[in-house]
Structure 1
Amino acid sequence: MITSGPVPFPGELLAPPDPAVLPFPHPAAPAEGVRLLRGAVYAIPDGSRPSTVDLWLPTDTDGPVPVVVFVHGGAWRTGLRDDLGPRFRHWVPGPFARMAQRGFAVACPDYRLSGEASHPAQTDDLAALLAWLHTRSGELGLDTARTVLWGESAGGHLAALTALTHHARTGSATGTATVTGCVTWYAPTDLTGLAEDLPEGAYDLRDPASFEALLVGGALADRPEAARDASPVTHVGPQAPPFLLLHGTDDVLVPARQSARLADALGQAGHKPDLRLLTGGNHLWLGLSEGEVEDCFDRTLVFARRCTADGGA
């Protein structure tokens, strides 16, 4: 005889599992000294696909390791979480494996794209990731009190926006990672200033189909407050972490003036950002030599090391 217990409510049947206790993916070994957990679920936003992250972890450690969170680009519209761009796709081992071999844990997350949700969903996702990394740090061997955000293009914008708003979101809360540094590569930082920074007539603030408009949910001219809120320069304050900003002087998609705007705002707030303008560099580091591209990566690694050392940068 079969007896049935209480029938759960429909909401209980549909409730997703808790990412804080989900099992990790089966590990892979993509390079010597590296363990890769591909596609771990870190959040399940209501009405959206699960948010996932790749974790590149060093296998030979003496204790918890510092964390680098890499945020991919793609105009907030597309992109792959483990793609640093065309100049790095031939690297063997790849850039994230190299960082793990040098003692960093690297987290490469998905986030909701602008076709799925508008700002601030993307930074909400990154905030959820930082909290998840902290929650599971003991299992993964992470020191989330030493966390650097790094992104390229639109991912650099999201990394900067997250770094500058993280303290305001969390205050002195202990349930999340501590952002100790931020690196941006050719990132937009002031959406309202793009029209001024590009050649006259090249950008229309009234265009509802621009990538920036799709991010904020409407033409920038019609949504000025949303555009300001989505601009990292708006959020610079005394709690900003150290910044390294790299940008090519010949960038035809995101003018180098965008990185200079953020550097100026940080300087006016009393910080000392490291702004490097690379002569002849275009978007995605097109126009640079192989050696110059490697130098961008090495500068990023050195900066991350300094920001995660005892005492910080």
Structure 2
Amino acid sequence: MPLSPDLAAFLAPPAPERLPLPPAARPAPGVRLLRGVPYAYRAGVRPLELDLWLPDETHGPLPVILYLHGGGWRAGTRTEMGPRFRHWSPDPFARLARAGFAVASVDYRLSGEAVHPAQLDDATAALAWLNARADELGLDARRTVSWGESAGAHLAALLALTAPVSGCVAWYGPTDLTTLPGQCPPGAYDAADPTTREALLIGAAIADAPDRARAASPVAHVHADAPPFLVLHGTEDALIPLAQGEQLAAALRRVGARVDFRPVAGADHGWAGLSEEDTEQCFTASLDFAHACTAVPLPPVHP
């Protein structure tokens, strides 16, 4: 039996931008964590949530890092930056907050729940939520950097190319689903297989749906007004070949966009095989890039 309009309105979930915020946890000195904040409701799936990390000490509205986790679009968790960082103390998100950022680590629908572009729609909704609550939370969401690893880097790049953000950090992400099969070692990837991670993302085998695969590829969305990109990719990546990072960098350069592409010598996927010192350098370089993208220009000095 269909619901009457009045009953449907009564039963509808509350608007996330008006929900009360959870009490803050204290995961590290100088840092507050609002854990599990709903930012969107989608019919038929769980509420979509984000964790918001905030510094205690602020000097005006905070720039934002919108972080998207990896996991092949079918797994992963917003609670960590990736397996290479599980032992870090303080947590890398806490380090970013201490460096002066608000960090929103975001859930999105996995490929078992919905196909592309649902994941990009969710990241866009998270950005809208941050804008809607910016005054309340002391954020300057106009200064947002999207950052992701692996599948999250793919989504961070798509977000940066389709929404108003200030920059993008992409770690070892797929960037062109149409060329990925041919860049893998012979026999390692079957473009006709409907069960690959990429096929599950778009709802069909790559070979059977090249238009869908192209539409889900960041390289298909580059434009001259793209924000600055930092692309880090391991030279020994056995899951997402280095050529994928090279393709995104080349596509951005062709349209005149700013991109800093850095192959990471000896690194496999997820920074596996990388020394602690070199992993720290990847993190620090990305933090420095985020600072540069969100810096507030000083007013001119008049004599």
TM-score (norm 2): 0.95
Equivalent residue for 1:270, pick from 250, 256, 281: 256
Counterpart of 2:162, as a letter, is T
What is the number of equivalent residue pairs in this alignment? 295
Equivalent residue for 2:153, pick from 109, 132, 156: 156
Q: What SS does the aligned partner of 2:104 have? A: strand
Counterpart of 1:104, as a letter, is F
Q: 1:26 is matched with which residue?
A: 23
Equivalent residue for 1:43, pick from 36, 40, 43: 40
Counterpart of 1:28, as a letter, is A
Counterpart of 1:280, as a letter, is G
Q: What SS does the aligned partner of 1:38 have? A: strand
**1:172-187 paired onto structure 2 within 5 Å:** 178-187=164-173
Q: 1:289 is matched with which residue?
A: 275
- The 8 Å contact of residues 168 and 228 in structure 2, kept in 1 or not, is answered as yes
Equivalent residue for 1:83, pick from 77, 80, 85: 80
Q: 1:135 is matched with which residue?
A: 132
Give the ranges of 4+ consecutive aligned residues of structure 1 lying more than 2 Å apart after TM superposition: 7-10
Q: 1:171 is matched with which residue?
A: none
- Over the aligned positions, Cα root-mean-square deviation in angstroms equals 1.3
Q: 1:94 is matched with which residue?
A: 91
Name the CA shift for 1:8/1:244 in 2 (closer, same or farther; >3 Å): closer
- How far residue 230 of structure 1 moved from its aligned partner, in angstroms, is 0.3
In the TM superposition, what whole-angstrom CA distance separates every residue of 1:112-134 from its partner, at most 9, and x where no partner exists? 00000000000000110001000
Name the CA shift for 1:8/1:203 in 2 (closer, same or farther; >3 Å): closer
Q: Distance in 2 between matches of 1:157 and 1:233?
A: 10
Q: 1:57 is matched with which residue?
A: 54
Equivalent residue for 2:190, pick from 199, 204, 211: 204
Q: 1:3 is matched with which residue?
A: none
Q: Distance in 1 between matches of 2:28 and 2:81?
A: 17
Equivalent residue for 1:253, pick from 235, 239, 245: 239
Q: What SS does the aligned partner of 1:9 have? A: helix
**1:107-118 paired onto structure 2 within 5 Å:** 107-118=104-115
In the TM superposition, what whole-angstrom CA distance separates every residue of 1:36-82 from its partner, at most 9, and x where no partner exists? 00000000012221110000001111210100011000000000102
- How far residue 10 of structure 1 moved from its aligned partner, in angstroms, is 3.1
Q: Any gaps of 5 or more consecutive residues in structure 2?
A: 299-303
Q: 1:175 is matched with which residue?
A: none
Counterpart of 1:190, as a letter, is D
